[in-house]
Structure 1
Amino acid sequence: MPTAMILKEVHLQTADLAATTAFYAELLELPIQAQTETSVAFRVGFSLLSFRLSNAAQRPFYHFAFTIPSNQVAEAHAWISARTTILPAPEGGTILDFPNWNAKAFYFHDPNGNILECIARFDLPNAVANGFSSACFLGLNEIGLPTPNAPQSAEAIHRQYDVPYFVRGPRLPEFVVMGDDTGLFIMPTIGRGWLPTGRPAERFGIRVVFEEKGKTRVIDYQ
């Protein structure tokens, strides 16, 4: 898909670098791409997921999603649930169905309180024959970008970077989704609750390197 939006790099902050490194390297078994005394970066399929030690008194937290093979929701759920707790869905169970997006997903926390998601998008041709492993984290599919005004910020990104509004929606006064099935910006207004916990969205430093229509772009929020 030459015009797909690809989340190439996502750079986040962490208040506990040691716990972050252990969780992603040992529990999720993601390969470490680079590491210093104050940062660590992991390879996640076509994406790089990086954490930098925060000097702030606050504990930064984010929402992001991994793309998993479209035929491995149950296998991925079993693999993750053997390692950590799957978060309950608001209406019961632990797997959420998104019929408008033709997708299913489940959620869990990392030590920072980040809300992680594994999502299978059935319109993506990424089914695999083998059992689930860390190699089946195919890339980053979503990154949350909380903002004081979701429609205004979304329109600015649309105009500056030529990122389309997600054709499957939604596009609401407090919640806008941009991109396509391969990569999405999830843009809530600050204070809106994240699925599935309802924790109000906050904004912390984040840098996203993405590809849209073959061009590499950068969004940097400090």
Structure 2
Amino acid sequence: MEVLTLPARDLAAQRAFYGDVLGLPADTDEVGALNLRVGSTLLRFVVGELGGPSHFAFNVPEDRFAGARAWLEERVPLLADPAGETSFHSKSWNADMVYFRDAEGNILELIARHTLPTSPGTGFGVADLLCVSELGLVVPDVPRAVRDLQQRLGLPVYREGSPTFTPLGDEEGLLIVVQAGRGWFPVGDPAWPLPFHLQGRNGDHAFDLKEHP
């Protein structure tokens, strides 16, 4: 994902979280917006209302998940599933994940995708957040939305989908299309449609997707 813009009620709180807690470089020159560089992605927050949490994920080097988890755990509480687990492995996606919240309550994820090449380096720091690689897209009808997005953007289904959850794209840019009201993993917060603006690429083709529920 190249540029992702999301709403935030309190830009100062988001600036403190992403800048002071996580250590991301923050650009404060634009009035009414917070611009953050996350690897190859520009993550932007603009003043706006949320009806519920967004979900988005950051790729981390596939061979340094333990370091990424330790780095994160020093800074924020980790989110647990009902069994109390805070680290997760997906066999079908060949990936390891850990979850947390930002200052607005958005559900964030660090994900080490073992299908991607190993990134150079050792240890883990904020510079090892490689990109924003997932965005939750909440819709009333998943199969219909998937057909529409495939027609408009040409995005393939990633791995496999269901009538309530279908990922579109690839490991460096996935739209997680989910049914409204479905619980976000691992905490079960219900998913609700939220505004966003996503500028990305499908191969050589750029696209510009805006949602304003």
TM-score by length of 1: 0.92
Aligned to 1:47: 41
Structure 1, 34-43 or 211-220: larger mean CA deviation: 34-43
Aligned to 2:184: 194
Superposed CA deviations along residues 74-116 of structure 1, whole A, max 9, x for unmatched, are 1011111101101113444211110000000000001101000
Contact 1:176 1:186 in 2 (8 A): yes
- Aligned positions of 1:201-220 closer than 5 A: 201-220=191-210
Count of equivalent residues = 212
Superposed CA deviations along residues 27-56 of structure 1, whole A, max 9, x for unmatched, are 1111124543311010011101000011x4
User: In the superposition, relative to structure 1, how do residues 185 and 151 fare at CA in structure 2: closer, same or farther (>3 Å)?
Assistant: same
| 1:74 and 2:66 correspond | yes
User: In the superposition, relative to structure 1, how do residues 150 and 59 fare at CA in structure 2: closer, same or farther (>3 Å)?
Assistant: closer
Aligned to 2:137: 145
Superposed CA deviations along residues 171-218 of structure 1, whole A, max 9, x for unmatched, are 111111111122111011110000011000011110110100211101
Structure 1, 58-67 or 201-210: larger mean CA deviation: 58-67
The separation in 2 between residues aligned to 1:173 and 1:136, in whole angstroms, is 34
- Aligned positions of 1:125-204 closer than 5 A: 125-166=117-158, 168-169=159-160, 171-204=161-194
User: In the superposition, relative to structure 1, how do residues 59 and 157 fare at CA in structure 2: closer, same or farther (>3 Å)?
Assistant: closer
TM-score by length of 2: 0.95
The separation in 1 between residues aligned to 2:144 and 2:180, in whole angstroms, is 13
For structure 1, the 5+ residue unaligned runs are 1-6
Aligned to 1:8: 2
For structure 2, the 5+ residue unaligned runs are none
